[in-house]
Structure 1
Amino acid sequence: MPRTPASYLPIAEALRARIAAGDWRIGDRLPSRAQLAAEYGVSAMVMQRAQERLIIEGLLEGRAGSGTYVRVPRERLRMVRSRHREQRGGSPFRADMKERGKSGTWESHSQARVPAPEGIARRLAVQPGDPCVHTRYEFLADGMPVQLSSSWEPMAVTDGTPIVLPEMGPLAGMGVVERMRTIGVRIGTAVEVPRPGRATQEEANLLGISVGDLLTRIERTYYDTDCRPVETADITVPDVRWEIAYEIPIEQPEA
């Protein structure tokens, strides 16, 4: 594997220029790696690095057992994060997808009494090792993956109540705000911190994207009206399919 970027970046730039010039059109299969390496007078490993660079950039995609292709652009939709999405009752995700004419569903797996890792404990203002319910979600729109979420709720808040497992019982699928309200916990604030990232192999497999694709990672925490954190989650959204927009209400001064 070359250690210096100079060995493969010029090749990546040459391939990029040929795609832009239309030598290979969207959906076209590129010549084999060996053919391209011979054409450019470089090793197969250098050509591999050059193609991997363009896969990360979203210009190419590798198909197992088939080859490397010029990537077909995917429809990119807007996902709006706002106070409005939390005031409709039920699942905010399902309501978001309905507004876009899509059926929002999800798959989930919950575990109770999972010791809080140090970072999660800090976000929930509990002690490391305190029991939590940990739920992993895969959210779908019309059966296609939209986002992933890893949610943590302290059992000090929900233990012994009908909502201890988020996706079981009479309020399954109703969302954090509605579920907490039924046990007297009023959500007052949600804080979200978005950060850029790149897809790991596991994330790429679950989201149907390529390893290294851009992601938006959102660290979200719900606080009750006493400013106590009652749920925190790490949400993963593929940037190639969704852009994130934040709607900020502006309070008007009294006349």
Structure 2
Amino acid sequence: MGRPRYLRVADALRVPILDGALPPGARLPSRAQLARRHEVSEQVSRNALRLLIAEGLVESRPGSGYYVREVPESYRFARTDRFSGSLLRPLAGEDRDTITRPACDRMAERLGIGEGEPLYRTRCVGTAGGAPVAVHTSWEPAVLTHNTTRAPGDADAETGVLERLAAAGVVIDRVVEEVAVLPLTEPEAVLLRLAPGAPVLVVERTHYSGQRPVETSDLVAVVERCRLSYRLSLARTPAGGGPRPDPHR
């Protein structure tokens, strides 16, 4: 059995889009023109165009037609085994605020503290071209830096959490990170100017001092605008192969 006809029509458009023969901004044939050219119904050509829209290659402009979509610039967020700088550093227009609030049950569980204990919540919004593309929200127990000059609201925005908490006597020695694509929730939807439920990239990261979680954060980013760039250190294998000797034995 052959491939569905709408996939063949989509292929005929996708190839010149990807190889540059149809550059960003180029106007595509109408549904009727595609139907005649490929000897299919307009419903088939409509489904082909819908598929290319879903793939992010084509956009529909009401009253004008279909066009090859401009490829937005992607921003890379460095994720390294010792990364401690601003998570929104690649982006301009960073808007940062810190408030104190009681821990909800979710944050209490993530930080291993009692529900209702005071937290510092810091939120940053990163923009590109005047449009918000990422929101970073972090939480940490206020008891760690309360009445010091090392609280999140007192520190310079460029000072990373590792350096800031180390100056307060809290040494971070482990980081756990999970990445997922999840539906956008209402609070971040307002900040990103997107509809709730839209798919977004979510990075949940927690810093530990020994077995104690001392800071946790969520990076919520527009999927098509942001990428994660990982650089992790690996233990070297001695020349000649074989396992490395255990220095503790």
Contact 1:60 1:69 in 2 (8 A): yes
- The superposition leaves residues 148-207 of structure 1 with CA deviations (integer Å, 9 ceiling, x where unpaired) of 21211222323323333x2x3353441211221222111111111111235679867856
Cα distance in 2 for residues equivalent to 1:65 and 1:204: 28
Name 1:229's counterpart in structure 2: 213
**Is 1:155 the counterpart of 2:142 in the alignment?**
yes
| Equivalent of 2:173 in 176, 188, 193 | 188
Cα distance in 2 for residues equivalent to 1:50 and 1:123: 45
Query: Please, which runs of 5 or more residues in structure 1 have no aligned partner?
Result: 1-9, 98-102
From the superposition, tell whether residues 216 and 186 of structure 1 become closer, same or farther in structure 2 (CA, over 3 Å): same
Cα distance in 1 for residues equivalent to 2:139 and 2:147: 17
Cα distance in 2 for residues equivalent to 1:52 and 1:132: 46
From the superposition, tell whether residues 242 and 92 of structure 1 become closer, same or farther in structure 2 (CA, over 3 Å): closer
Counterpart residue type for residue 189 of structure 1: R
Contact 2:111 2:216 in 1 (8 A): yes
Cα distance in 2 for residues equivalent to 1:249 and 1:229: 22
**Is 1:70 the counterpart of 2:68 in the alignment?**
yes
Name 1:5's counterpart in structure 2: none
Contact 1:57 1:213 in 2 (8 A): no
Name 1:217's counterpart in structure 2: 202
TM-score (norm: length of structure 1): 0.66
- The superposition leaves residues 21-80 of structure 1 with CA deviations (integer Å, 9 ceiling, x where unpaired) of 54993313457789999x9455xxx95x87665433212235688665321233446544
Cα distance in 2 for residues equivalent to 1:69 and 1:104: 29
**Is 1:251 the counterpart of 2:235 in the alignment?**
yes
Computing the radius of gyration from Cα coordinates, the structure with the larger value is 2
SS at match of 2:170: coil
**Stretch of structure 1 that moved more, 60-69 or 232-241:** 60-69
Name 1:174's counterpart in structure 2: 159
**Is 1:136 the counterpart of 2:123 in the alignment?**
yes
- The superposition leaves residues 192-236 of structure 1 with CA deviations (integer Å, 9 ceiling, x where unpaired) of 111123567986785688998764311101112x32111111112
- The superposition leaves residues 87-120 of structure 1 with CA deviations (integer Å, 9 ceiling, x where unpaired) of xxx54653xx4xxxxx76521232212x323222
Cα distance in 2 for residues equivalent to 1:131 and 1:33: 58
Please list, as runs of the form range in 1=range in 2, the aligned pairs for 1:76-95 lying within 5 A after superposition. Answer: 76=74, 78-86=76-84, 91=86, 93-94=88-89
Name 1:55's counterpart in structure 2: 53
Cα distance in 2 for residues equivalent to 1:154 and 1:201: 25
Contact 2:111 2:215 in 1 (8 A): yes
Cα distance in 2 for residues equivalent to 1:241 and 1:140: 11
Contact 1:62 1:69 in 2 (8 A): yes
RMSD over aligned Cα atoms = 4.4
Identity %: 35
Q: Report which of the two has the higher share of helix.
A: 1
TM-score (norm: length of structure 2): 0.68
Contact 1:133 1:155 in 2 (8 A): yes
**Is 1:109 the counterpart of 2:97 in the alignment?**
yes
Cα distance in 1 for residues equivalent to 2:217 and 2:66: 36
Report how far residue 122 of structure 1 moved: 0.9
The size of the alignment, in residue pairs, is 230
Cα distance in 2 for residues equivalent to 1:210 and 1:60: 20
From the superposition, tell whether residues 239 and 178 of structure 1 become closer, same or farther in structure 2 (CA, over 3 Å): same
Name 1:4's counterpart in structure 2: none
Cα distance in 2 for residues equivalent to 1:19 and 1:199: 31
Counterpart residue type for residue 150 of structure 2: I
